[in-house]
Homo-oligomer: A and B are copies of this chain.
Amino acid sequence: MIGHGFMGVAHSQAWRVAPRFFDLPARPVMSVLVGRDAGSASAAAQRLGWESSSDDWREVVARPDIDLVDICSPGDSHAEIAIAALRAGKHVLCEKPLANTVAEAEAMSEAASVAASRGVYAMVGFSYRRVPAITFARDLIRAGRIGTLRRVQAAYLQDWLVDENGPMTWRLDKDRAGSGSLGDIGAHAVDAVQFITGQTFEQVSGALETFVRERPLLAEGIGLGGTPSTERGVVTVDDAAYFTARLSGGAVATVEATRFATGRKNAFRLEFSGSRGAVSFDLERMNELEFYDGDDPAGEQGFRRILVTEPEHPYAGAWWPTGHGLGYEHAFSHQVRDLLVDIAAGRQPEPSFADGLQVQRVLDAVETSAANGSGWTRA
């Protein structure tokens, strides 16, 4: 595994836990953790339960005893590592967004395509696809339970930048992060909508906004934020992104991705409205899915709050009895489970790098539209 930040911790938990709850075709061995600083990597490996550590990803990627490379480092490093790993015949799990630029994502997708022809697979880590309620939303919608889809409302709402004296982190630096809320959380929205509906974003009209253009530099990082230093830096990414989109099946989607939704901590909200029903979700209540069945008798229709913790629900049966909720990290275990099952079956795992590239193109179209007076732009 490359990287041991927030994502590295989540991925480690998945590798550790998935084999205990799912029957996997192979038993994962948490072999080596890679970080830029040898000391930090060693300490993290110890803490997270990796057998060894390294500060040289090139060397690790070349090792014959490594079967799979899990990339959790910042977006600007994805392309180089992933391509090298695939060329070395390693399966790859790469955190989202796939890359910071479309060009990089294209190269990665191409490399993945070549690798797949040799039975080496790559997956991009849009982990929310494996939140049981989101997988279940897809099942309902793909089964036609809401009829013809007409409306999608997606909003990914966070508030960790509301304080204008909150410090810069690498996530606010375009060179490192590629983009701001658009690439970080807007990417989740695009992928989830496409995954759930089976439709792609064809055209977008978008706008980006940076509310706070200058911030103190970061002294010490804590969680997604940290303590401020006395120097100041320029925010080069968007604080919020807004776009309207036409989907391939005729639906219209509105998307808001923002780090300025005061009081909303991780409210990834999705609503799908069709001719026969609707489905609604909020990640802050991730064990629930709301389903409105227009086929219910008149007068008895209403959004049903379904606790997605029953044996009938995706992934849920592997865990606890009904009503005993799962948390954020469980989606990562599901991701590992599906990845290993697909690799063992010689089947392309999803979302593929091509899927990741397609999301990247949508995000790119939003940026282009925003730079051109919000005119409609093809993805």
Contacts and interface: CB of A to CB of B under 8 A. Distances in A.
Contact of A302 (B160, B267, B305, B319): B305
B299 A310 contact: yes
A273 B317 CA distance: 25
**Interface range on chain A (Cβ under 8 Å from partner):** 35 or more
A10 B321 CA distance: 11
Contacts of A214: none
Contact of A273 (B153, B261, B275): B261
A228 to B, nearest CB: 16
Interface string A356-376: 000000000000000001111
Interface stretch (A33-41, A62-70, A283-291): A283-291
A12 interface: yes
Interface string A300-330: 1111111101111100010111111111111
Interface in A321-366: 321-330
Q: Give the oligomeric copy count.
A: 4
Interface in A106-126: none
Interface of A: 6, 10, 12-13, 16-17, 20, 47-49, 136, 140, 146, 150-151, 153, 155, 158-160, 162-164, 205, 207, 209, 211, 222-224, 240, 242, 244, 250, 252, 254, 256, 258, 260-267, 271, 273-278, 283-287, 290-294, 296, 298-307, 309-313, 317, 319-330, 373-376
10 contacts: A205-B207, A211-B250, A262-B276, A262-B277, A265-B310, A266-B323, A283-B323, A296-B304, A324-B328, A325-B327
